[in-house]
Amino acid sequence: MANVVKTMLAVGACKASRSALRIMHRGGTTTPGRLAMKIDSNILESVSRGMEIIVVTGTNGKTTTSNMIGHALSEAGRDVLANRSGANLLPGVTAEFTSSATATGRPRKHYAVIECDEGALKQVVPKIHPKVIVVTNLFRDQLDRYGEVMHTLEEIRKGIRLVPDAILCLNADDSLTASLALGVPNPVTWFGIDCPVGEQKNVEISDARYCIRCGTEYEYDYHTYAHLGGFRCPKCGYRRIRPAVAVTEIEKVSSSGSIIRMRFGTDGNADRAESADGAGAVAAASAETEQEVTIGLPAVYNIYNGAAAIAAYQAAGFDRSEVISSLADVHSSFGRMETFRLGEVPVQMILVKNPAGCNQALSYLSGLGEDYQAVFCLNDRTADGHDISWIWDADFEKVCGDPHMKHTFVLGDRADDMQLRLKYAGADEKDIEKADGNAELIEKLKQSSVPVFVLPNYTSMLSLRAALGAITGKQEFWKG
Amino acid sequence: MSELKICHLYPEVLNLYGDRGNIRCMQKRLEWRGIDVSIARVGLGDSEDLSRYDLFFIGGGQDFEQEVLLKDLKAGKGDAIRSAIEDGKTFLCICGGYQMLGHYYETYDGVKCEFLGAVDFYTKGGSTRMIDNYAFRLEESCGGSTVVGFENHSGRTYLGQGVKPLGTVLKGYGNNGEDGTEGVHYRNVFGSYSHGPVLPKNPEFCDFLLKTALERKYGGFDLEPLEDRFEKQAHDSVLAGVMDGTAGKDD
Ligand SMILES: [Zn+2]
C-alpha cells in the first residue's frame, strides 16, 4: 500500500512541477523527473511496466531515427510515447514516462520510442526493459564530457549487459558499434550501406583505424563516411557482417530527400566467416527482396537513420512496410534539419555537434550547386561540451572554397574562434561577418537574395530556433 | 627561396583534439609569407629518414592506440626522434605526444609504461581529469607571449631538476596542477598540454616555432609580420573569459 501511495505522490509531483515550469516558459526537462525519483526511486519501473519499448542511442542520429520510428508507429494508428529533444538522460526519460502515466502510476500508452544518451543507457534500460536497443554509430563527441570514444563504447556496453534479452540493432558499417555484439548473449540484427558513398580516395579515418580486437589496421572494401564502410581486419578476421537491412544503391539525393534501393534478407553469420567468393551471401540471397525507398530528409546520414529505423521496426515485430511508407514524409526533427521562412528567404537549420556530423552537413552544402549563405553558430556551454577544438577537424574548407558560398555569418560565445577557423579554411576575410546576437542576425538574413543554411551547435540552436520561431510562428519545442 | 619541411609524426594514431589545426596554421602562416612548405605524414611502420625534416609535430591520442605506438618507437623510430632532438630540430608535442618524450607514464593503477626518455620528466596518471580553458605565459626563452588553450588530461607531469617549463600557468592546471608550470622546453623541443589547437589563436607562439626552425636551417631569419586581426580577437576574447572565469559558463 505504501508503495502505491509513493507512486501516486511521485506522479502527482512530476505532473505538477512540469506544468508549473511550462507556465514559466521554461523547457524544464529534468526537475520534474528528479522530483519524482526522489519521492519514489522505482517510479520509472512502475510507469513503464509492460510497455513495448525501442531505445535509440549512439553519437549521431538518435533524434532523427527515433522520430522516424515514432512517426511510423503513429501513422499506423498506435499511441506512442516519445521523449523530446534534450530529455535523454535518466531524469528526462523518467519525467516523460511519469507524466504520461495514470494517477496511480500505470502506463497509458503501450508503445514507446526513447532516445537515450550513451552515458545514461546503463541507468535507463534496466528500469524500462526495452525490447530493442538501436545503436546508430559512434564518433568523437563532446570530448570533455566523456573523455574518449572508447569510453563511450564501454558505457553503452555496460547498459547492454544489464538487459541480456533486448534485441540489439546495430550499424554493421561501424567497427566500433559492431563490436557491441561481441561476447553478449543478446540477439542481434544489423543495418548498413552495401555500396561506396562519395569520395573513395584519401579518406581520413580518425575514430577507429585499428582493429578493436587485435590492433591491426583495418582494410576497407569501400567507404561511406568517416570510419564507416566495408571494414575488415586482415589479421583476426573481425569484419563487417552482411546486414539484413541494407542500402544497395543511392539513386538520387537532393535537398528534399533521397531515393535509394534497399534489400531485405537475413543477417550474415559472424561465426561462420563468409568465404571470399560469397557462398554465405548466395545462400542468404535466395530469401532476399529488393525495393525502392524514399526518405524525405536530405543528406547521406539520414539514409543511415532510415535504415536503422527500418531494422529496429521489424526487429520489434512490426510490419516493415509501415515504416517504409512513412519514411517518405517524415518530418524533420527539431533543429536537426528544419526549414523556416524569413519573408521570401528559406532558412534551413542543421544541428552540428561533432566533426563527422558537421562534415556531412558541409558536403551537403557544397554539393547543392546553387548559391547560398552559410551561418555558423558556436557556443561552448555544458550541453555543447566546453571543448570546441573539433571545429579544426571538420572540413570547412569544402564550403569556404565553394564558389556558390556567397557570404558567411558567425555567431555565439565562440564566434571569434569560428571566424578564425573560416579564415584558415580559405575564406576571404571580407566574406566573414560577425553578428551580434540572434536579432541582428535575423535582420541581416532577411536581406538575403539566396537561400540560407544555418549550422549551429546545441545551445546556440536552442536560442536561435526560439528567436526564429517567434518570428515565423513555429512553436517552441516543449509545446510541440 | 626558403623552405620548411614539416613532419607530422603518427598522424593516424595521435590525432585527437583538433591537432590538424596546428599543422594547418603553420602551413598557412608560411605560405602567406611566400615560404615553401611541405608536410609529410610519417606513421606506424614507415621507415623514413627523419633527418631530412626541419620541424616535427606530434599530437595527442587515445590510450587504446598508444600500445601500437610504443611498439613502433622501439622498432627504431624512437632512436631517430632522439637524434633529431639532439640535433636541434624543432618539435611541437601536444598532450600524449608531449608525455611520450618523458621517461615513463605510470597509470593510476601503478602500471608503468616506458616512454622515450628524450627529455628528463615523467608523468603519473591521476584519478581526475584536468579539463578547462586555461592560460599561461611563455618563458622569455620561448618568446614570452601569453598563450590561451584548452587542456584535458589526467596525467600529471613532473619536470626533472634543471629542466625548464614552457611557461607559467596564469589560470588553470598546467603540468600537474601543483607547481604552476606548464609544458617543457628543452633544446628546440616545445611540449604542452594545450590542444585547443594551440597555434591558430596564439600566432606569436606559432611564429616563434617557425622562426626557431628556420634559423636552425638558414642562420638568421626574419619573419615578416602578418595581419592578425582575427587571431588577436580570438586570443583576447578567450583570455578575457579565462581570467575572469566566464569562459565556457552557461550564461
Ligand atoms: Zn583484428
Per-residue pLDDT tens over the stretch A192-229: 999 999 878 767 776 788 899 998 899 999 999 889 99
Last residue of a domain, one of A294, A327, A360: A327
A117 and A234 housed in the same domain:
yes
Last residue of a domain, one of A327, A360, A389: A327
A364 and A253 housed in the same domain:
no
pLDDT of residue A274: 40
Tens digits of per-residue pLDDT, A343-375?
889 999 998 988 888 988 898 898 888 999 999
C-alpha cell at A115: 532516445
ipTM of the complex: 0.95
Closest CA to A141 of A351, A403, A326: A351
Highest mean pLDDT: which range of A263-267, A334-338, B15-19: A263-267
> Residue A276: pLDDT above 80?
no
- Of A205, A387, A424, which is closest to B200 when you measure between CB atoms? A424
A421 and A302 housed in the same domain:
no
> Residue A478: pLDDT above 50?
no
A189 and A290 housed in the same domain:
yes
**Interface contact B131-A209, CB threshold 8 A:** no
Higher pLDDT, B236 or A139: B236
**Residue range B191-206: average pLDDT?**
94
**Bridge partners of A343?**
none
| B20 shares contact with chain A (CB less than 8 Å) | yes
Distance A215 CA to ligand 1 centre (A): 6
Contact between B33 and B223 (Cβ < 8 Å): yes
| Chain A residues bordering chain B (beta-carbon distance below 8 Å) | 140, 143-144, 147-150, 205-206, 209-210, 215, 217, 380-383, 386-393, 413, 416-417, 419-421, 423-424, 429, 459
Average pLDDT, chain A: 87
**Residue range A252-269: average pLDDT?**
86
Which region among A279-283, A329-333, A335-339, B7-11 has the lowest average model confidence (pLDDT)? Answer: A279-283
Domain that holds residue A70: 2-327
A376 and A311 housed in the same domain:
no
pLDDT of residue A20: 76
Q: Long-range contacts of range B237-243, CB-CB < 8 Å, 24 or more positions apart? A: B237/A416, B238/A416, B238/A417, B238/B133, B238/B148, B238/B201, B239/B135, B239/B146, B239/B148, B241/B133, B242/B133, B242/B134, B242/B135, B242/B148, B242/B170, B242/B171, B242/B172, B243/B135, B243/B170, B243/B171
Cα A301 to Cα A428: distance, rounded to the nearest angstrom: 30
A7 and A65 housed in the same domain:
yes
3-state class (DSSP) for residue A203: coil
**Residue range A1-25: average pLDDT?**
78
pLDDT of residue B247: 83
- B206 labelled catalytic: no
A320 and A388 housed in the same domain:
no
Cα A373 to Cα A443: distance, rounded to the nearest angstrom: 14
> What are the angstrom distances between the C-alpha of A260 and each of A263, A293, A320, A323, A345?
10, 5, 16, 15, 30
pLDDT of residue A434: 97
> Residue A479: pLDDT above 90?
no
First and final CA of chain B: distance in angstroms?
Answer: 50
Cα B125 to Cα B112: distance, rounded to the nearest angstrom: 10
C-alpha cell at A366: 557544397
- Of A143, A150, A416, which is closest to B64 when you measure between CB atoms? A150
Distance A104 CA to ligand 1 centre (A): 53
Tens digits of per-residue pLDDT, B62-106?
665 677 788 899 998 999 999 999 999 999 999 999 999 999 999
A307 and A389 housed in the same domain:
no
pLDDT of residue A385: 84
Chain A partners within 8 Å of B132 (Cβ): 386
Tens digits of per-residue pLDDT, B105-114?
998 888 888 8
Which region among A56-65, A76-85, B218-227 has the lowest average model confidence (pLDDT)? Answer: A76-85
Chain B partners within 8 Å of A390 (Cβ): 18
- B93 labelled catalytic: no
Overall domain count for chain A: 2
Cα A69 to Cα A54: distance, rounded to the nearest angstrom: 9
Cα A18 to Cα A402: distance, rounded to the nearest angstrom: 47
A273 and A154 housed in the same domain:
yes
Higher pLDDT, A156 or A283: A156
Q: Is A426 left (phi over 0), alpha (psi -120 to 50) or beta?
A: left
- Of A148, A209, A424, which is closest to B24 when you measure between CB atoms? A424
Cα A312 to Cα A66: distance, rounded to the nearest angstrom: 10
Percent of chain B with pLDDT over 70: 97
Q: Is the dihedral of CA B112, B118, B121, B127 positive or negative?
A: negative
Which region among A168-177, A205-214, B2-11 has the lowest average model confidence (pLDDT)? Answer: A205-214
> Residue A248: pLDDT above 60?
yes
A378 and A308 housed in the same domain:
no
CA distance B190 to chain A (A): 20
**Interface contact A148-B17, CB threshold 8 A:** no
**Residue range B7-36: average pLDDT?**
90
> Residue A285: pLDDT above 80?
no
Last residue of a domain, one of A263, A295, A327: A327
- Of B18, B150, B231, which is closest to A393 when you measure between CB atoms? B18
pLDDT of residue A46: 94
Q: Supply the CATH number for residue A407's domain.
A: 3.90.190.20
| B152 shares contact with chain A (CB less than 8 Å) | yes
Interface-testing mutation among A149, A214, A414, A424, with chain B (most B C-beta atoms within 10 A): A424
C-alpha cell at A283: 545462400
> Residue A157: pLDDT above 50?
yes
CA distance B223 to chain A (A): 19
Interface-testing mutation among B24, B66, B250, with chain A (most A C-beta atoms within 10 A): B250
> Residue B161: pLDDT above 60?
yes
pLDDT of residue B216: 96
> Residue B224: pLDDT above 90?
yes
Tell me the one-letter amino acid at A220.
Answer: Y
> Residue A280: pLDDT above 70?
no
**Residue range A425-454: average pLDDT?**
95
Chain B partners within 8 Å of A149 (Cβ): 62
| B238 shares contact with chain A (CB less than 8 Å) | yes
Higher pLDDT, B86 or A75: B86
A348 and A289 housed in the same domain:
no
Chain A partners within 8 Å of B19 (Cβ): 392
pLDDT of residue A2: 67
Percent of chain A with pLDDT over 70: 89
CA distance B212 to chain A (A): 22
Chain B partners within 8 Å of A220 (Cβ): none
Give B79-119 as a DSSP string. Answer: HHHHHHHHTT-EEEEETHHHHTTSSEEE-TTS-EEE---SS
Contact between A98 and A23 (Cβ < 8 Å): no
A71 and A209 housed in the same domain:
yes
Average pLDDT, chain B: 92
Cα B107 to Cα B101: distance, rounded to the nearest angstrom: 16
A191, containing H or E segment: strand A188-193
Cα A233 to Cα A214: distance, rounded to the nearest angstrom: 8
**Residue range A467-480: average pLDDT?**
64
When pLDDT is cut at 50, 70 and 90, the band that residue A136 belongs to is very high
Q: Using CA coordinates, name the residue in chain B closest to A393.
A: B18
